[in-house]
Amino acid sequence: MSNSILSLKKLNLAYNKTVVVPDLDLDVREGELIALLGPSGCGKTTTMRAIAGLMAPHSGTIHIDGKDVTRMPANKRGIGLVFQSYALFPHLNAFENVAFGLRLKKLAETEIKSKVEHGLQTVGLAHLATRKPAEMSGGQQQRLSLARSLVMEPKILLLDEPLSNLDARLRLDMRTELQRVQRETGVTMVFVTHDQSEALALADRIVLMKDGLIEQIGTPSELYNRPRTKFAADFFGFENIFKISGNALVGDAGSLQVSYQVDAEYLAWRPSAVTVGNGSYNGKIVGVAFAGEHIEYVLETLLGQITASSPAAERKFKVGETIKFDLPLASGFALYP
């Protein structure tokens, strides 16, 4: 890819003799905001550590801006890091935290002052320049950590679970903040997350990983609406996935005869695509949860448990009720081998 600022080729990463990432190829475009997404142990953080120069690959190469940096020290790569834990100096105020790396570069004081003030302004913290981290909220500390990396003018900014320590409201605010900063600065960002909603909201492209390999890569819309595998479908909210064999759906508990035949390996439904209250099949409600605008149900069926949801304004069913339900072919998603 000619406009790639980051290129990983045949990357093999291991801890001692345990291979975590067996053979990874990935190109990241300049100015892109890309998410490495997946469950714990999928290799996303290990990949980020290798890009940052915090671990050496067993084999393969890492190119940044066209240069092979595979064996280059971390401080020579032009990489910025924003850690989950913020990693701020508690005894230094916000200005000095941001200035720390610039002072190591032995820049002139006037240049340091200009860069730090601009960095704090970029993340909306200019008015808190004299505060220490303990006097700041979690969101402010995260923005301070972001400013500290940005003033170093990195070619690539790596963010390790950047929002996981924030409460729900602050996570939403920081999503907007990260997008704004990335848009205004144009810096390439690669962030690691296990939260699919975070990746969907922030990323230009998502790299979904499983067992150290890329399961699927694409835009948020592509992964959400057109997952290619059972794993990808499950990860992006198709909670009801059943093997299809002839005219039967096959689940963990048994099978269910259906009126359709599909040339696919699996059929999958999001909870909202399951019809509750009418249909051809019976299920017993074993769980009910209020979720704001809709009600979530867990049904015990011949297939095993099925997760469904319906608008809160509709009739609410109770735990213990046996109700009709349906799995309409029109709202199912076919998964192929």
- Give whole-number Cα distances, 7 to 1, 148, 187, in Å: 9, 25, 16
Amino acid 303 reads L
C-alpha gyration radius of the chain: 24
Give the mean pLDDT of 169-198.
88
Length in residues, the chain: 337
Contacts of 122 (CB under 8 A, 6+ apart): 147, 150, 181, 184, 185
Give the mean pLDDT of 13-37.
94
Q: Express each pLDDT in 197-212 by its tens digit.
A: 999 999 999 999 999 9
In the block, tokens 């200035």 appear at: 99
- Alpha-carbon distance of 12 to 24, in angstroms, equals 7
pLDDT reported for residue 165? 73
Confidence of residue 5 (pLDDT cuts 50, 70, 90): very high
pTM over 0.85: yes
Q: Express each pLDDT in 265-308 by its tens digit.
A: 999 999 999 999 999 999 999 999 999 999 999 999 999 999 99
- Alpha-carbon distance of 181 to 146, in angstroms, equals 9
Confidence of residue 2 (pLDDT cuts 50, 70, 90): low
pLDDT reported for residue 1? 43
- Give helix 109-122 / helix 94-104 axis angle, nearest 10°: 130
The structural domains of the chain, ordered by start, are: 4-232 (3.40.50.300), 237-335 (2.40.50.140)
Q: What b/e string do you get for 277-309 counting C-beta neighbours within 10 Å, with b at 16 or more?
A: eeeebebebeeeeeeeebbbbbbbbebebbbbb
- Alpha-carbon distance of 159 to 192, in angstroms, equals 6
Contacts of 219 (CB under 8 A, 6+ apart): 204, 205, 206
- Of the candidates 167, 26, 142, 155, the one whose C-alpha atom is nearest the C-alpha of residue 82 is 142
Give the mean pLDDT of 128-149.
92
The two tokens of residue 35 are 């998410």
**Alpha helices by DSSP H, the chain:** 44-52, 94-104, 109-122, 138-150, 168-185, 196-202, 220-225, 230-235
